[in-house]
Amino acid sequence: MRKSILTLTTLLIIISSCKEEIDTSSRYVFKEHTVASYLEAHAEYSQYLELTKLVPVSRRSQSSVYQLLTARGNYTCFALTNKAIDDYLQDMVEQGLISEPSWDAFTDERKLDSVRKVVVLNTIIDGHDMESQRYTTSLIMTFGGGKENAAFPLPTIYDHTLTYSLGKKDTILLDKECPIDPENCDIPLINGVMHQLHKVIAPKDESCARYMKNILESQREGYLMFAKALQACDLFDTLSAVRDEKYEALYQEYGEDLDMKNYMDVSGYDMTNIASDKDAHQPEHRKYGFTLFCETDDYWKSQGIDPKASDAVQQLQNWIVTNNMYLSDGGYVVNTDYTSPKNMLHQWLVYHILPMKIPANKLVYHCNELGYTLSKPSQYTLPVMEWYPVYGGDRLIKIYESAESNGIYLNTFPERDNGISGTGHESYCAPDKRGVLVQTEHEMAEVSDIVNACIYPIDKPLAYTDVTREDLGKERIRFDLFALFPEAITNGIRRADSPEGKWQHVYFNPIYQYFENMTLMNNDTHIIHYNGYKAAWSNYSQDEDKAFGHFDIRFKLPPVPKRNTYEFRYKLLATAARGVVQVYFGNNPEKLAVAGIPIDMTKNVETFFGEGATWGDDLSDNGKTEEQIIEIDHKLRNHGLMKGARHECELSSTTSRDKNNCSRHIIVRQTLDPSETYYVRFKSVLDGTKWELYLDYFEYCPKEIYDSPVTPEDIW
């Protein structure tokens, strides 16, 4: 029986007695070792073994980590040697935290418990019931396509996300400095896999603000100039935010009572059979995050600016003005009131900050673009890109990677082979259009220690200039729905690389508005994010979102780059389970204008051409000329429709454009202004509650592209 939806009033009067217990009645009893029995059989882990018996699995648990490691499961254990623990205690002595390298040296019991948890809980990753989530070294080295500083798909049970890099002789390093022993690794056990570790994983878990303040206090070079600019612009309070404590208290107190167990019975399963847990789950946390793209102190020295100079901030602002690193009609002022959003330095600086924490391997998403396969994650094909609003929300930044780019770039604008018979690949990029390289594998990339941010060095200055605005304004801009939500990216919800139900089916309860840019307009609107991990779906990034009930949902949209006439579009994959929706669009969220007639989301594109119409662009197979294919596109546009894009694949070669149940609806065609904030609203027009609202992506397309007299809009 599915659980009924709890009202907020009900939640607040529940007295929770939830206690997490490890089921030890189902332990394996074979001759082979569990993780726990292996530790017991090897003396070099004696200290670590004793610690596992002292540390509880979580704050709500009466079971120890040791008990966890005796039970069924798929655990990845980074077992610490006695020497690793001794070295850690000695480091604490040298830092003046304890008087001698011994656990008995702690005088504060709470501090002792806290340190024990850091040491133990960061060494265990719980793969739950998925054997594919036992992380061998060969699997670890594929994370992020094998690029260094890639984040692990699952966090430790301390809720810390490890990163992978390579040390001397290709030794795998966790969080840049904790080596896995190359001889004592990949030890297969009944309930997991174990690796010997020679250094304690002890992330500082400091906020971005604290990290930058430490740089200022020590005058440590690297990001000193950037830290001074942040301080001058009074952004440390902003960069101190770690998590939404209101949501944290609500979820942690009531635990499973906030989950919508078995709600999938109503919503419909995803039919992939990937996740053994078919239920929908709410996120456990609502964390805040940031991504900073930073010029280094070495760069500023090359420009004649000494980051240690007393007037370094003033020198930096003068450099911005001298080098035209600003928008000429932005109305910015050059003065020493750096805290003002209109100040020149302030505007330049916030363009370097995204309001979400993005791991190195998630800056762009390679998943189902034409020609790409997860079995060869480092072999890129079509370009992939994201457009995100920077901190403050008033300007866009583009993040891009292709087979030809040799790295991830900001604000790059290459030419592509985009014709009907083209490959879709990057064909040429002028040197002045290549943009700014994000140095994700650089030693200065901070991806582990900062709890609420990732920091990446860049190879040249980043700025929102007249040229940048013009280049962005000439592009069709496509937003995956979950790209609109910084919370989804920060909290690891978008494109989670895990088949677990908690990541495959994520439910957002209308009693708590989890996303700032999404408003559920009534308590009868229930939305589930289908992650689509390894699914053969014709969605832009494989994932999709569906709303159920008598849905009524509103989204705040990103800004357009410049004032222009745009088409705003909505991508649909039609099925019999969809409903009929009225769309509203405008800049007054409380009084949005009706945008066209209701959309029947059950209708295929062939409705306008007759059953059996051919949609493919393979000229050799379907016998159509390019002119005939373009004519089909024109006829669809007369109905306010377009084919799906050729970018994403359902299978190895079946693209969204090839499927007649995939289409793009032109919602409005009107003048949009970057100084305005726009919203789109989807409201069911049916009385029943069983119908779905399908959501994948939106597009802004400027008139110069959709109405070009020379080149038709590309098919990608």
Residue 666, domain CATH: 2.60.120.260
pLDDT value, residue 170: 86
Q: Are residues 434 and 567 in the same domain?
A: no
Single-letter code of the amino acid located at 629: I
CB 118 within 8 A of CB 158: yes
Distance CA 287, CA 358 (A): 12
What's the whole-number mean pLDDT along residues 554-569?
98
Residues 6+ apart with CB under 8 A from 437: 407, 408, 409, 458, 459, 460
Q: Are residues 318 and 435 in the same domain?
A: yes
Q: Name the DSSP class of 712.
A: P
**More confident position, 387 or 267:** 387
Q: Are residues 437 and 523 in the same domain?
A: no
Q: Are residues 214 and 129 in the same domain?
A: no
pLDDT value, residue 17: 34
Q: Are residues 333 and 442 in the same domain?
A: yes
Q: Are residues 81 and 91 in the same domain?
A: yes
Distance CA 78, CA 137 (A): 11
pLDDT band, residue 501 (cuts 50/70/90): confident
pLDDT value, residue 15: 26
pLDDT value, residue 4: 35
Asked whether residue 622 is assigned to any structural domain, the reply reads: yes
pLDDT digit string, tens, across residues 412-460: 999 999 988 899 999 999 999 999 999 999 999 999 999 999 999 999 9
Final residue in a domain of this structure, among 176, 197, 218 = 197
CB 672 within 8 A of CB 566: yes
Q: Name the DSSP class of 61.
A: B
Out of 73-82, 564-573, 648-657, least confident range:
648-657
pLDDT value, residue 8: 32
Q: Name the DSSP class of 65.
A: H
Asked whether residue 273 is assigned to any structural domain, the reply reads: no
Q: Are residues 504 and 603 in the same domain?
A: yes
The number of angstroms, rounded, from the C-alpha of 493 to the middle of its chain's C-alpha atoms is 7
Single-letter code of the amino acid located at 542: Q
pLDDT value, residue 30: 38
Q: Are residues 570 and 611 in the same domain?
A: yes
pLDDT digit string, tens, across residues 341-384: 999 999 999 999 999 999 999 999 999 999 998 888 899 999 99
Sign of CA dihedral 683, 686, 689, 695: negative
- From residue 268, give the alpha-carbon distance in Å to each of 262, 502, 716: 10, 16, 30
- From residue 74, give the alpha-carbon distance in Å to each of 35, 67, 136, 256: 10, 14, 12, 22
pTM of the model: 0.92
Distance CA 432, CA 173 (A): 37
Q: What is the distance in angstroms between the CA of the first residue and the CA of the last residue of the chain?
A: 44
List the structure tokens of 534: 């390894």
Q: Which of 532, 585, 564 is nearest to 671 (CA)?
A: 564
Residues 6+ apart with CB under 8 A from 286: 243, 244, 247, 248, 487, 491, 514
What are residue 580's DSSP bridge partners?
A: 600
pLDDT digit string, tens, across residues 638-672: 999 999 999 999 877 789 998 889 999 999 999 99
Distance CA 40, CA 265 (A): 44
CB 472 within 8 A of CB 698: no
pLDDT value, residue 282: 86
What's the whole-number mean pLDDT along residues 576-589?
96
pLDDT value, residue 281: 83
Q: Are residues 485 and 446 in the same domain?
A: no
Number of domains within the chain: 3
Distance CA 61, CA 22 (A): 9
Q: Is the pLDDT of residue 307 over 70?
A: yes
Compute how many other C-beta atoms are within 10 angstroms of the C-beta atom of residue 545. Answer: 21
What's the whole-number mean pLDDT along residues 91-113?
95
Q: Which of 199, 175, 55, 156 is nearest to 114 (CA)?
A: 55
Exposure string of 655-671, with b = 16+ CB inside 10 Å and e = fewer, is bbbbbbbbbbbbbbeee
Distance CA 663, CA 592 (A): 24
Asked whether residue 526 is assigned to any structural domain, the reply reads: yes
List the structure tokens of 139: 């699997």
- From residue 683, give the alpha-carbon distance in Å to each of 165, 520, 550: 47, 10, 8
Q: Are residues 147 and 209 in the same domain?
A: no
CB 79 within 8 A of CB 123: yes
pLDDT value, residue 2: 33
Query: What dihedral angle (degrees, nearest 10) is formed by the CA atoms of 667, 668, 674, 680?
Result: -40
**More confident position, 585 or 205:** 585
Asked whether residue 97 is assigned to any structural domain, the reply reads: yes
Q: Are residues 25 and 68 in the same domain?
A: yes
Asked whether residue 461 is assigned to any structural domain, the reply reads: yes
What's the whole-number mean pLDDT along residues 131-139?
95
pLDDT band, residue 267 (cuts 50/70/90): low
pLDDT band, residue 3 (cuts 50/70/90): very low
Final residue in a domain of this structure, among 423, 455, 475 = 475
Q: Is the pLDDT of residue 614 over 60?
A: no
Distance CA 234, CA 337 (A): 10
Share of the chain above pLDDT 70, in %: 90
What percent of the residues of the chain are helix, what percent strand, and what percent coil, each to the nearest 5?
A: 25, 25, 50
List the structure tokens of 349: 């600086």
Asked whether residue 268 is assigned to any structural domain, the reply reads: no
List the structure tokens of 6: 């709890």
pLDDT digit string, tens, across residues 189-245: 999 999 999 999 999 889 999 999 999 999 999 999 999 999 999 999 999 999 999
Out of 513-517, 584-588, 601-605, least confident range:
601-605
14 φ/ψ sector (left φ>0, alpha ψ -120 to 50, else beta):
beta
Final residue in a domain of this structure, among 136, 167, 197 = 197
pLDDT value, residue 112: 96
pLDDT value, residue 248: 86
Residues 6+ apart with CB under 8 A from 712: 630, 633
Average pLDDT, the chain: 90
Distance CA 402, CA 691 (A): 38
What are residue 393's DSSP bridge partners?
A: none
CB 463 within 8 A of CB 348: yes
Query: What phi and psi, each to the nearest 5 degrees, are found at residue 91?
Result: -60, -40
pLDDT value, residue 654: 87
pLDDT band, residue 129 (cuts 50/70/90): confident
pLDDT band, residue 262 (cuts 50/70/90): low
Distance CA 348, CA 320 (A): 8
What's the whole-number mean pLDDT along residues 682-699?
93
Query: What dihedral angle (degrees, nearest 10) is formed by the CA atoms of 607, 690, 583, 716?
Result: -50
Asked whether residue 1 is assigned to any structural domain, the reply reads: no
Distance CA 196, CA 16 (A): 39
Asked whether residue 299 is assigned to any structural domain, the reply reads: yes
Q: Which of 560, 593, 600 is nearest to 668 (CA)?
A: 593
Whichever domain contains 377, its CATH number is: 2.30.180.10
Q: Are residues 481 and 471 in the same domain?
A: no
**Residue 417 domain boundaries:** 204-242+287-475
**More confident position, 360 or 624:** 360
List the structure tokens of 589: 């969220």
pLDDT value, residue 146: 86
Biggest alpha carbon–alpha carbon distance for the chain? 83
CB 192 within 8 A of CB 76: yes
